[in-house]
Amino acid sequence: MRITQGIEQSQFLTALNQLESNISTTQNGISTGLSFSTASQDPVAAGLVSGYNQVLAQSQQFTSNGQSAQGSLNIEDNALTQAQSQLQSLRDLALEANNATESGANLSAIATQVQQIQQTLLSVANTQDGSGNYIFAGYSTQTQPFALTTTGASYSGDQGQRQVQLAAGQTVVVGDNGDLVFNQTKTGNGTFNVTADAANAGSGIIGATSVSDPSAYAGGSYQIQFTAPGTYQVLNSANAVVTTGTYTNGQAISFAGIQVTLSGTPATGDTFAVAPSTNQSIFTTVQNLVNALQRASTTTQESTSLNNTIANTIDNLDQALNQVQTVQSSVGARLNTITTQQSTATAQQTQLQQSISTLQSLNYPQAITNLDSQNTTLSAAMQAYTLTEGLSLFKYIS
Amino acid sequence: MSNVFGIDLSALQAFQQAIEVTSNNVANANTPGYDVESIDLATAPPQSAGGLSIGAGVAVDGISRAYSQAAATQYNNSQSSLGQLNALQNYTSQIDNLFGTTAGGLTTALQTYYSAWSTVADDPTSSASRQALLGDATALAQNLNSTSSQLNALNSDVNTRISADVSQINSLSTQIASLNQQIAGSAGSTQAPNTLLDQRDQLVSNLSQIAGVTVTGNTDGSINVFVGSGQPLVLDGNAYTLTTVPNQFNSSQLEVASTSSNGSSISSSITSGDLGGLLAARTQAIDPALNQLGRIATAVTQSANAQQASGLDLNGQLGGALFSIAAPTASASSANSDTTTASVTLSNVGALTSDNYLLSYKGGAYTLTDQTTGANVALTGAGTTASPLQAAGLSIVLSGTPASGDQFQIQPTAQAAGSIRVTLADPSGIAAAGAVVSSAADTNTGTGSIGAATVVDPTNANLLSTATIAFTSPTTYTINGAGNYTYTAGGKIAANGWQVQISGAPATGDTFTVQSNAGGTGDNTNALAFANQQSQGYLSNGTESISGAVSALISGAGALAQQVNTAQTAQTAVNTQAQTNLQSVTGVNLDEEAAKLVQWQQAYQASAQALAIANGLFTTFLDSVNGTYS
């Protein structure tokens, strides 16, 4: 092959450019610590890293969502604990008032205490978080949810439950609306409720009630009617007689799977209504108690009515406590879910960071070795060029 | 005796010329396009003297240049291919650098935007997080705008370079035509016009770098040069100019036309050389990147605006649009024979592609061709407002019946990335809350519970009206007193554009309400749905998320750049080989010239010596004659 000086030079220049560009790429990698800085250097890895980075950022956002949810749930947890202790105090006061020896003055003092607790309970139900949002208002967090009325309290919130995303496809409820916590409390024993007729003249007081035979219980309303002292009949909603019996103080009356214990001496014509439980606001229960305590209870009829109201109130308070505890245990379960999810997310983030680093981080020993060998090649090429260029026949012609 | 002088003289003259040729080779060792020349020596016709034939010296037949048509053509073709790749590589690497590993910061901007939605979901009433969301949405839109304008700048650069290339081609063609005339003029002379031929070869080589050409020779020594699919640039002594014309659909893009093609574009036939590379950069790298970016911008806009419309803002109103964006464009060809226009709207983001389409009307039928794949796309509809043409997630309405042969180019997303803007200015306008909220009456005695209501049709006029679902029996219910629907536990109940699920066993008389969520400012249902969008399959009929489309954009641009880089490296090697081949025939080797110089010098010295000897002989003879007669 005939080689000309021109081609030698041009080839040397091309090679020189290539070598210097390689050195520049390697150098750039070493100074940034990245194995590639543009997608063309490794299109597949660049696509993967972009995807991983987005999943990573999303996961970090989930962690921060979880922290925010933990904050909200802890506030709710505290509020619920407080609500429970207030309800417990109410129950204690109700028991105290139930003592037949209590005088009118004492009862009125108890009523005042109950009213104070009602206020505290109201402030618990209107708890605000650090940003001023009402935590028991459902979605209507800017609206104060509860306000006292003559019959209990009105609810201005809604039944919304805010959710926060913990992971792709996994959300957790961060709030429970006040309607669920404070209003949807069942009356009576949670299944049915027994009330004494206001016109009862005897001293019949409602005691324990229960479903004795769930298979026989079919809901529905009944009336226990005393046809004579010591004799009762039970009517269903169609006024048909379900059963009749002889009344013994403190002994259970059973019918249709229902068991009701009455004590005292009901008069002829006294009735006790049995109806399926309905939802009743805690505030209504408390207000009923206050109303009953404030009424005079000098006659037998009045004190029997008071005792029956207190018995009902205690039943309702037990249901309310049960409801608040249920909500609180669900809050606890959610907090656990978040904690579990947080540790899963942390592990996932570590894994992702590792994957990104594996794809993107420069292998320093290799890069430095490459740089060294590229430098050697460049200086060798330069030396070789000067050597060959120095060769010319013209040098020897004199 | 006089013959000796003649022989020596011819030798001295020939060797002197040979030294001149060699010196000229040395002088032009670095002249581009110079082909090494050599002197052609031949013996002069012999003379007969007394039955003997004695040579009459040396004659110079001519000076010929070393030339190989095959090597030159191979080199020129390789120059064309390399020129194309160099031009293309310039743009693919610029896009590669522009995108880097984050699509120019798009991945970060998109992620920040979605995170901002999550932060709003964490505390929907916080005006700080709402303001931050608007800021992040603006940053996302600006990122798309700026990347798009940088890509558009590359397109203008392509236009400038196409114009420059075309004027250079025209200048080269004119020079070749003029050299053709001079070369043809010297046809018939014994000495070939080497310098003119060298110059013309060099011009053809320069031309090959700009656009691949085909060269044919004529008997008078002139050549014809053709470009593209046979459009003449030079025929004998005549040059034919190329011009630039606006693209028939898009006047902002220049195309190449030839005077012989009556001004219509020949761009598609120019596939090599710098010009071929520029045209390829536009169709293979810049426009697809703009379209893909636009598709992402469209998806961001559509998803945000649709979600906004399904929720309530802080003022209890259905959310307004968060982003605005240019609609898909439909441009009529400048060659259309009437003024029918087409308008395109987006009907289904899921079916949206990043390709451009060509809508043709011929013989009473419309055809739609995907310009990237070249495939025909099935069309439905008639092109009227009542029945728009539907394909590829687009709906196309024409202003009338086009003339047969009319064409329209449809660019679904080309303008999108450049035009996306945040239109929502008031942070309280962010629709974080769901539009409707469901509730169960506290007086319900059954165990039925109602789930969250979801909006399925935000355009329903009664969406925010209060609706009561009342159970007339444990298995039947009415909605607002109407109907007598059968209840299935867990089944979906839909009305007024929402959908809700009731489960459990409701009792007769139980009621559930679905009503406007106005006042539900603490609700984050809609913001949560927003934050979820990033990982949802929103594009490609539900198989590709917006984040996925960004990753695909990055690796797509990277893969193209890598492919072009690899091809360029390979072609550089091929070109070096072709250049070496050509140079090994036509180049000047200085050592070779040095050897020749010595050779000619020695021959010259020998001839001079021979002349001296002849002179000596003649003097001897004269001296002896003088001695006899003196």
Do the chains contact at A64 and B122, CB–CB below 8 Å? yes
Query: B26 CB contacts (<8 Å, ≥6 apart)?
Result: B588, B590, B593, B597
Query: Tell me: the pLDDT tens digits for B521-560?
Result: 888 888 888 877 777 788 888 788 888 888 888 888 889 9
> B369, B302 in Cβ contact below 8 A?
no
Q: At residue A349, does pLDDT exceed 70? A: yes
The answer for A 25-44 residues in CB contact with B (under 8 A) is 36-44
Q: How many residues are listed for chain B in this entry?
A: 630
Q: At residue B464, does pLDDT exceed 80? A: yes
Q: Hey, what amino acid is at A130?
A: G
Please give the pLDDT value at position A100: 56
Residue in the structure block whose two tokens are 């964006």: B325
Do the chains contact at B551 and A168, CB–CB below 8 Å? no
Sort B96 into a burial class: Cβ within 10 Å, 0-12 / 13-18 / 19+.
buried
Query: Which chain A residues contact residue B438 at CB under 8 A?
Result: 159
Q: Which residue of B has its CA nearest to A191?
A: B445
Half-sphere exposure of B113 (CA within 13 A, CB side): 28
SS3 content of chain A, % helix, strand, coil (to 5): 55, 20, 25
Q: Is A263 helix (H, G, I), strand (E, B) or coil?
A: strand
Number of helices and strands in chain A (H, E)? 7, 14
Query: Tell me: the pLDDT tens digits for A371-395?
Result: 999 999 999 988 988 888 878 888 8
Query: Tell me: the pLDDT tens digits for B470-515?
Result: 988 888 899 888 888 888 888 888 888 888 988 888 888 889 999 8
B526: alpha, beta or left, given left = phi > 0 and alpha = psi -120 to 50?
alpha
Q: What ipTM was assigned to the predicted interfaces of this complex? A: 0.76
Band (pLDDT 50/70/90 cuts) for residue B51 is: confident
Say how far apart CA A19 and CA A371 lie, in whole Å: 10
Query: Tell me: the pLDDT tens digits for B565-590?
Result: 999 999 999 998 998 899 888 888 88
Do the chains contact at B576 and A41, CB–CB below 8 Å? no
A24: number of Cβ within 10 Å:
11
When mean pLDDT is compared across B72-81, B170-179, B188-197, B612-621, the lowest value belongs to: B188-197
Query: Tell me: the pLDDT tens digits for B189-215?
Result: 778 888 899 999 999 999 999 999 999
The answer for A 114-153 residues in CB contact with B (under 8 A) is 131, 133-134, 137-143
- Min Cα–Cα distance to chain B from A337, Å: 17
Q: At residue B81, does pLDDT exceed 90? A: yes
Do the chains contact at A61 and B445, CB–CB below 8 Å? no
Query: Which chain A residues contact residue B444 at CB under 8 A?
Result: 279
Closest CB from A50, A64, A140 relative to B107: A50
Q: For the residues of B469-492, what is the DSSP string, one character each?
A: EEEEETTEEEETTEEEEEP-TT-E
Band (pLDDT 50/70/90 cuts) for residue B2 is: low
**Pick from A222, A224, A216: which is nearest to A256 by CA?**
A216
A49: alpha, beta or left, given left = phi > 0 and alpha = psi -120 to 50?
alpha
- Min Cα–Cα distance to chain A from B491, Å: 20
Q: At residue B18, does pLDDT exceed 80? A: yes
> B180, B215 in Cβ contact below 8 A?
no
The answer for A 261-280 residues in CB contact with B (under 8 A) is 276, 278-279
Q: Which two tokens stand for residue B267?
A: 């761009």
Query: Tell me: the pLDDT tens digits for B437-460?
Result: 888 888 888 888 888 888 888 888
- Residue B507 is given by DSSP the state P
Residue in the structure block whose two tokens are 């996994």: A170
Query: B607 CB contacts (<8 Å, ≥6 apart)?
Result: B8, B11, B12, B15
Closest CB from B517, B555, B580 relative to A139: B517
Say how far apart CA A195 and CA A370 lie, in whole Å: 92
Q: Kindly state whether B266 is in contact with chain A, defined as any CB-CB distance less than 8 angstroms.
A: no
Query: Tell me: the pLDDT tens digits for A63-107?
Result: 988 998 998 899 999 999 999 999 999 999 888 887 756 677 788
Query: Tell me: the pLDDT tens digits for A238-264?
Result: 888 888 888 888 888 888 888 888 888
Angle between helices A282-294 and A104-125 (to 10 degrees): 160
Largest CA distance in chain B: 167
Full-model pTM: 0.83
Mean pLDDT over each residue of chain A, to the nearest integer: 87
Q: Look at strands B342-346 and B357-362 and give their pairing.
A: unpaired
- Min Cα–Cα distance to chain A from B351, Å: 22
Sort B251 into a burial class: Cβ within 10 Å, 0-12 / 13-18 / 19+.
exposed
Residue in the structure block whose two tokens are 């459990």: B504
Do the chains contact at A139 and B121, CB–CB below 8 Å? no
Q: What is the C-alpha radius of gyration for chain B, rounded to an integer number of angstroms? A: 41
Say how far apart CA A363 and CA A308 lie, in whole Å: 83
Q: Is B40 helix (H, G, I), strand (E, B) or coil?
A: strand
Please give the pLDDT value at position B209: 93
Residue B407 forms beta bridges with which residues? B360
**If you average pLDDT over residues B132-156, what whole number do you get?**
91
**If you average pLDDT over residues A128-155, what whole number do you get?**
88
Q: Which two tokens stand for residue A261?
A: 């214990």
Please give the pLDDT value at position B168: 94
